Structure formats: structure tokens, C-alpha cells
Structure 1
Amino acid sequence: MYPVSETIKTVLKEGSNTIRVSFTNIDGPAACKLALRIHQKTGQQVIIQSDDSWEWTPGQTNERSTHKAQWKKAAITNFQKSWSQTDTAFAEENYLNDIKEEYRELNRALSSLLVAVRAPGIVSKLTSLLSTQTSGETNLAPNEADLKRIAKRNAGYGRAVTGVLNNRTDLLQIHYAYILRTVNEKELWTNADRKAYFTWLNRAQTWTGGNSYRKFLDNIEVESLNGFTENEKLALETLGVRKPYIPPPLPKPEGPGQKWTVDTVLASTDAGMKTRRNFAHGKRTFEAARCIVCHRFDGNGGATGPDLTQAAGRFKMKDLVEAIVLPSKAVSDQYQAHVIQTVKGKVYTGRIISESENDVTVVTDPEDATKFAVIERDDIEEMFAANQSLMPAGLLDQLNEEEVLDLLAYTLSRGKARGPLFKKKK
């Protein structure tokens, strides 16, 4: 067997248009990984092939003893997204169907390869495997019996070991979720695929992992939503595919409040922003004014309104104040409320998050994405844009001046507690 690094060096040196990776010099999973690495480095077409005489070596990766029939023909003939019918049929017949629970090492290689080339059907195949009961493959020990034996030695650490065993992560399922995070082509996913994927992410959050395990899962979710509009993200929550934001108990405004106008707020900022503002107090006020219920900020909050993390890049102070005090003055099309009246006289008001030829889905409560209505188009008498924003006016009227100033500073902070508005003034 040639080392992978030496094989890549040979490929780069030859510089041919088509590279053939043969199983006569490398084992099956390694051949898949090698082909993928060659393509990533060179962009060249790669063909995986084996001789008729090739057989899987028993015990090499704990897979089946022979795999000759599946590897007889070229596995992937082109790493581009354009597949011929022959390529597609072969991949579906010999590779998608071959990803089974018991062939774990082979599955890692095959799934990575098929996801990389966006093989037809691979998303549904892998999300279906995420929906199966985990067998709990871990990297804790080569033999589960070893861990159980260790757990019996001492009641103290034994409970911890037993707890990990009973609530262990599944490394293969984590691998599937990890590689699927890069498949941002929405047409490759069905609603059932999305539901299975995010249901798995919620389930995986309950498993026992290391210190960075939760953050690792959060990053998978963030990357998997790259390219989604806010409406599409909200649609996932509404359809039960993605867990909606549930705010914790929120603090009350300190007050006393007053009737704030654009002019009075701006007059306060003229002097107030020249003194050091309080980041923690601004964060508290963001919650007390219920901004967090509808707006995501620095990775936390609801999704029925726009993400405000980058508000500093979109708003000057006057624009931000007007958007808060006069929410209906200018409303983005993306967050425009609509009024829908049915032929039976029922009226729905809310934000449209998805439309099809047959129906319209509208969120009727801006603070709760799970409250929605699906209205058949045949039942709609009239539908038009509302002249009022879903964001209520008067949100600042419960707040005192210090709360207003710190709220504005926090909203413009991009979530950075050491930003210029929070530094001591000279």
C-alpha cells in the first residue's frame, strides 16, 4: 500500500487530466478519502476503480470480507455537480444503498465522498440514518466491556463512567451531521430531511460530550443555515423543523417612563453618549423592553424580527431612533405585515413566511413563531400589505433616560462589551 501523501505527490507530478485511484495499491475507505483530497487540491477528475481480483481484507476495517462487486466499476467518474444518468444510477444502486449501520468505517468514506459531489439522494439517505436509534459508537475505549469493568472499581467515578456510557454520543451520526452542514443547496433538501436533521441536533444536545461539545453542535447549526433568509429560518421554526426561541423570564423596566419622541431621544443622546455607557445595563434593558423576544442579537433571541447584531453597520443614531420610536415609518419588505381576508370573512394579520401555488403560511403572533395559519389560496378573498408594522409603537415609553441610552449603546455594540461607547471618556 502506498502512503496517501506519496500518492498525492505522484498525482501532482504527473499532472494528467484524469487520475485513477486503484484498489490494488490502497484500501477502499482510504481510496475514497484520497480521491476527495486529490480533487480538493487539483480540481482534477478522479476515477476510483478496482481489479476483478480485488477483495476486502478481513479485519482490515472490521467491514465485510469482500466488497468486490460494489467496487468493480468506477465509483465516481466526475467530481462536478453534473452527473450523467449512468453515473447517478450507479451511485444510487451501489453506494447510497451500501451506507448501512454495520459498515462504519466504509460509511465515513462513502458519505464524505457522496456529499462532496452532491450525489442525488445522499441528503435523504443520511438524514434517514440520523433518525435511527443510535448504537452509541464512541472513542472512549475500543471495548465497551473495558469501561463497564472500570466503572465497577469505584462507586465515585464509576457513576460518572456509567452516566457517559448510558448517554454517549454517536460519532458516526455526528460525522453525518457535520458533513451535511455544507449542503446549502436548498433544492437538495425536503421538509422531511430538514425536520430529521434539526430533530437530531436537538437530540444530540442531550448527549454527554466534552467541554466544547455544545459549541460544536451550535456551529453545525449556524453553518447549516448559511444562505437562508430570515423568512426561511422562521419557516423552519413554524413548521416544527427547527426549535423556536423560548425566552427566559425577563426583567421588568426600571422606569419611571415617559412619552419618548424622536426629538427627545436624540436630545438625550447628544449629551448622554458623551459619557461612558453601561453594556450590562443595556443588555438588561434589551430584555426588559422585550426586544430579545423578536430580535436575535449576538447569537441569542427570536427570529420574527431582523437580527440586530450588525445594526451599527446599517443605522446611524437618528435612523435607529426613528426605527424604534416610529416602527411603521419604513418597513422592509421582508418583515412587512399582510392582511388576509378569507371568503368566509375571517381575517388574518401577520408576516408571510412561505407561499406555494396552493397555500400561504402566515405567522400571526410576532412574539411566537409557533402561532401561525396555513390558508388555502382558494379560500382567500383579499390579501394586501398592512400599513402598520408588526413592531408596536411606544416600546421606549416604559424606560427612563439611562435605560434608553444604554439600550441604544448596546444595540450599536455588535455585542462587544469593550466597544467605544463603553470605554471611560477622557
Structure 2
Amino acid sequence: MTAAVVVTGLGVVAPTGLGVREHWSSTVRGASAIGPVTRFDAGRYPSKLAGEVPGFVPEDHLPSRLMPQTDHMTRLALVAADWAFQDAAVDPSKLPEYGVGVVTASSAGGFEFGHRELQNLWSLGPQYVSAYQSFAWFYAVNTGQVSIRHGLRGPGGVLVTEQAGGLDALGQARRQLRRGLPMVVAGAVDGSPCPWGWVAQLSSGGLSTSDDPRRAYLPFDAAAGGHVPGEGGALLVLESDESARARGVTRWYGRIDGYAATFDPPPGSGRPPNLLRAAQAALDDAEVGPEAVDVVFADASGTPDEDAAEADAVRRLFGPYGVPVTAPKTMTGRLSAGGAALDVATALLALREGVVPPTVNVSRPRPEYELDLVLAPRRTPLARALVLARGRGGFNAAMVVAGPRAETR
């Protein structure tokens, strides 16, 4: 029998708060963190709102030598990794040299760092470009910097599948654990809060242009008109249950029981999207049926066509109004690769506490979607959650997570 993959530590850096406690408190209260962009002047852009991580002072958490060589996202990721290890009661320096891997996901890398250095190149000349530009912008930089900081020499990797990346990173970590690696820190911290990154996000055509934080991001609503970007995410410590028990751990947040990924057919092919196939395959991997799922954490694109496609997949899998559906990312915005990882962390907390967090600001859910959309915190026994994610370009991912109330497979 394959050893169970358990989550023993969470590190959260999100617009809803720094750390697990602050994030969960804000989320379960339905406190939205979306507001005007402050990291740069967005006044000349059609989209002016974002979910920004509040109160983060990197010098309070990291040594000064790391400041010149790291992007804002990497600093957030390093702190998330520190907190995840602390939460798991793990001292990586006392583990086998090759016994811990790192797998992250990214859609932008260190975009803000790269934007600044290219600005120096254009305006001042090449002698003013930092030598750290050679790696600080790169998609894999968070994996590398977390590995270096903690001396982790186990298998590493990075997934670049946009919004689906957080699930894909956790899925890859699960594969490493099933091959015998004792522990992996995995997930994603992502975002691109700079003019260069903003233009890239605007090019998708999916950003909301509303200036009202309460009306800008309304997935599954009759007034849906795009999404709000955000920054942040979560890193998780994953272990085999054998590894956790060998460390003396007897309680954990939950298990990752199932995972699957699919790719959509080319636009114009006439074939349907493959989110439903990903969800069904994740359930098959978990060896459970739809009736075992107590809540769905939706991808929640916020654009009418994609909302309709996701609602169709959920309805076909569970039946009309067949399962509670929530999108707590309405409080943070869509965090690129970090969003799905944060959804998994939030789902594990929801399973532990027996509360489905709300989808905020949505007031007119489309009746034709036939979704049991959770609009206020709902207290109910929860054993399993299905987390869905879709990345720009056709990526789909689904993950089944089980909490303390779920029976052991």
C-alpha cells in the first residue's frame, strides 16, 4: 500500500494576512483585501485594483545580504518556507543532506526585479544593471533560494502552468514522496506588482476594469466582468505519513489523496475543455466518488465564458446544487501560481475547523449555473475538498485533500 502524503506545515503570505492564523481569521470573516494598487502608480492603466500582501517588511524576517539579490516575490517565498518549517517543527539542518526536496510554481518569476534592472539598462547603461539580474528574475528562483537558505539538496523543480501551477507543484512533490523521499516543501508564491507585470496581465483580457473593490471580481455573478490580480500564496511541508510518524508527529493538517492535470484542446477545435476530466481523474486517483467530496474550491475565473465552463464541469460531476462551492480568492484576487496553493492551505484549514469560507461580494449568482455557491461562512462537518485550478493557455489541475474527519484509505 502506498504511504499517505500528509501536510505537516503551512506557510502563508497572502493579502488576507501574514501567517496561517491571520489569513484564516480574515478569510472566515469574509474580510476582502482587494484595494487600489500601492506598489506603483496604476492611475494610467485601465485596471487599478489588486490584492497586496499587507505589512510585509522583509528586513524583519531575512538577513540584509539577501536584500540586493532577491525580488519581492522571492522574499515572500523565503518567509513562507521559514514559517512552513517552523509550523511542521522541522529543523532542516538536522535532516539527511539529500532528504528534503523543493518544488515551487511560478508564472512571472522576479518580474519586479527584472523590470527595475531593465529600466536601469535603458536609462543609465549596462554598468548599472545588477549582477543578480542573471537569476533573480527567473521562474525557478524561489526553488533555488529556498534550497540554498535551508541547505536542501534533495530533488528540486519548478512548474510553469500559470494559475494551475500551485496544484501542479504539490502534485510533483507528491510523486517525489511516493518514490521514497521523506519530505518536500512545495507550493507557490507569485505575483507581478510592477508596470511590466501589469501590462503582461492586462494582455490576457481577463482583468476587471471596475474601480470599486466590492464589484470588481464577481465570479459566477450576473455582473462578472473579469478578475483582480493579487500577490502571495502558500508553501506547504509535505511528508509521507511514515516520515511524519518517525519524527514523532501524530497530528497533521490533512492528506493529499488525489491529483490530476489535463490540457484543453486548441481554441476553435470544437472540443470541450478538460477541467471535468481533471476533476474526475483526481477523484479516481483518490479512490473516492463525487459523493465523498464536501466542498469545492473553485478556480473562479470571473469571466462569463470561463465561469460557465467551470459551472458546467461541477454540475456534471456533482449534479445541480450537488455540493457547496466557494471561491475565497474573491478576497485576495487571483494570485497566479500562488492562488491554487493558497486554496489548498485554506481548504485544509476549512476541513480542520468545519467551516466553508465565503465567496464575498457576489450578490446575484447566475441561476443557470445551478451552483450551491457559499456566500456566507457555513459551519458544517467537512471531510474532503476538491480544489480546481485553470491556467492561461489551457492548463487544468484538480486536487483532492482530506482532513482529520476523513477515514484513512
Structure number, greater radius of gyration: 1
The one of the two structures with greater contact order (alpha-carbon pairs below 8 A, sep at least 6) is 2
TM-score (norm 1): 0.21
TM-score scaled to structure 2, two decimals? 0.22
Higher strand proportion, which one? 2
